A and B are shown apart, each in its own frame.
Chain A
């Protein structure tokens, strides 16, 4: 089987940098600021009124535009389905024409960056796990269709005006992330991926979401390790979502690994950037020069749906 690689990572954040304390005072958070600070959060990013989710996507992709020649597919993922349409709802109301509800950002991205040979796919029902879902889908496409050699994965979300920026006891940031999945040997080799959905918990409340978090995470990772014939002892770094720090204190003990191997340093500055966390943390761990060639990284995400996804990468 040919190998598939993940490389050329970039991210772009909402243009407003706000402290947790400020957001609590402004009513964007329900839980006391100190609770979040104790959990590892300090600041988060929001988009100003004129910055759209698509602007965030463009901001991320612009950073890797030099790599976009010969892209064969674009997988454009959003957590909020409404971010998968950039059309005007008011124009639909005026005209009653649903084409304004089908103005897809992936199509615009293809045109705006001149990716003429790229077909587009939208992925918008995997919540925070969407980017990992994109990697999984991209790998499957490359392995199953010979003409698919280079796929651009993008995830971009911004919360609507007036939204709370707290979800399941996490502080949210608006932002976007992108990467290339291809057969070119660079970046990280994508070794394995795994996903679980429990649709019966689609509308789980925050306590139920936290309640299922540990057992389902453990099951997801156990199944991933089993099918990839890789053990937790083979994992050099865990790059999870930016969630309550103590959740990974507990999970690392449950999994039988050291908390020191868990890298999610960006939590303090940017909070939980929906499905961009893994890419943001990967960029930072690279920047910190902590990953050596041959090392294996476990990327994990849990999200609404409820969905759990993980991938294993190996540094080239």
Chain B
């Protein structure tokens, strides 16, 4: 019986994608789960299954492996695997070079070597990032990008895998899905997973920073988790081989960095605790000044401040780059595609973050 492999299913997007795939595909799904023992594997599997309808559960087959042992763990299924969705990655913008190389790039390349030898593989979907476009400004089409410069190792490692798909692994029927930054779980503004955006907002909310690298007019491209999972499912099911899809909204849904901050402070100021503290909006600063702040606070500031700065810093260079993102290919896959009111989603997300004091919703996510 044909099988789908979904890596990174225990992560935020991977888990949402698993739920969509169970609904829309009929194959069993092999899910690599990293666990140190059989008991931990069972515990993580059960957690993964919480939001899964009982009649779907038997279709999820957990495999106890990390990315290192992935090929070996899947070896006995090589005749059955028809679809691979390679979603596992370290997605933080501040990952170090060694981690980016070993986890995001080298493990992916080894996995592609394995995929090359699968006799019945018809679909290898690689989940990448919109920021594989690096520091490129202007139109970003759903196409390959000649060697850009990068703001951080995360972007670079994702681009290198895309480049390997184009060159070394063109014989594989791959699709690339470049995902934008997830701001909320859905249009209601609930937040399940924090990323650089939420870490930045948290520093503003608690008054720990009053500088932000970037330009007020820079458009930022955000998506919600539900749209992302639905779009990835469409790419898996309907995408064409050797095509790239931007899992994001079109340019009209982008919001400028300045407006994003305005909306955040409008919402935060509805919270009496925040309002009473009379915290000011951050000042936009150049990259050098922000780097000076980050370097200087090392060893001085508290852990929350330094973790927040470490999260923003490697992403900061992107906040000067005006990208015009295109998603026509993705739109072609989606029925009833609509551009959402992004400002409203940002508003609801900031409301949620303020109301919960930046606690994360469990969202059924493992």
Enumerate chain A interface residues (CB-CB to B < 8 A).
Answer: 31-32, 35, 39, 169, 198, 200-201, 204-208, 210-216, 218-219, 244, 246-247, 249-250, 253-254
Contact = CB atoms under 8 A, between A and B. Distances in A.
Nearest to A197: B278
Given A200-B277, A249-B289, A211 B305 contact: yes
Interface string B275-314: 0111111110110110011011101111011000000000
Nearest to B277: A200
Contacts of B299: 31-32, 35
Contact of A212 (B207, B289, B292, B304): B207
B289 A208 contact: no
Nearest to B296: A246
A249 B295 CA distance: 12
Contacts of B207: 201, 204, 208, 211-212
Interface of B: 203, 206-211, 276-283, 285-286, 288-289, 292-293, 295-297, 299-302, 304-305
Dominant secondary structure of chain A at its interface with chain B: helix
A215 B289 contact: no
A246 B293 contact: yes
Contacts of A210: 208, 297, 300-301, 305
Given A198-B278, A246-B292, A211 B203 contact: yes
B325 to A, nearest CB: 30
A35 B211 CA distance: 21
A244 B286 CA distance: 19
Contact of A213 (B210, B276, B279, B305): B210
Contacts of A218: 283
Given A35-B299, A246-B296, A250-B293, A208 B208 contact: yes
B289 A254 contact: yes
A215 B277 CA distance: 14
Contact of B285 (A169, A206, A212, A254): A254
A87 B209 CA distance: 41
Nearest to A306: B278
Contact of B210 (A31, A211, A249, A253): A211
Given A246-B293, A254-B211, 11 more contacts: A35-B299, A35-B300, A198-B278, A200-B276, A201-B207, A206-B301, A207-B305, A211-B206, A212-B210, A212-B279, A244-B296
Contacts of B304: 207
Nearest to A218: B283
Contacts of B289: 249-250, 253-254
A200 B285 CA distance: 26
B210 A200 contact: no
A214 B301 contact: no
Contacts of A205: 302
Contacts of B209: 211
Nearest to B304: A207
Contacts of B292: 246, 249-250
A206 B302 contact: yes
A218 B284 CA distance: 11
A212 B300 contact: no
A219 B279 CA distance: 12
B283 A214 contact: yes
A200 B211 CA distance: 20
A39 B297 CA distance: 10
Contact of B283 (A39, A215, A244, A247): A215
A267 to B, nearest CB: 14
Contacts of A216: 210, 280
23 contacts: A35-B299, A169-B300, A169-B301, A198-B277, A198-B278, A200-B276, A201-B207, A201-B278, A208-B206, A210-B297, A210-B300, A210-B301, A210-B305, A211-B203, A212-B207, A212-B210, A215-B211, A219-B280, A244-B296, A246-B293, A249-B289, A249-B292, A250-B285
* 7 tightest A-B CB contacts, nearest first: A215-B210, A215-B280, A211-B208, A246-B296, A35-B299, A250-B289, A214-B210
B211 A214 contact: yes
A250 B280 contact: no
Contacts of B301: 169, 206-207, 210
A73 B360 CA distance: 59
Contact of A215 (B281, B286, B300): B281
Nearest to B286: A253
A227 B10 CA distance: 58
A85 B304 CA distance: 39
Contacts of B288: 253
Contact of B300 (A31, A208, A219, A254): A31
| Most central of A198, A205, A206, A211 by chain B CB within 10 Å | A211
B211 A250 contact: yes
Nearest to B280: A215
Contacts of B293: 246, 250
A204 B208 CA distance: 10
B278 A200 contact: yes
B201 to A, nearest CB: 14
B264 to A, nearest CB: 14
Contacts of B283: 214-215, 218, 254
A159 to B, nearest CB: 20
B18 to A, nearest CB: 39
Contacts of A200: 276-278
A216 B206 CA distance: 15
A35 B301 CA distance: 11
A43 to B, nearest CB: 19
A255 B278 CA distance: 22
A10 to B, nearest CB: 33
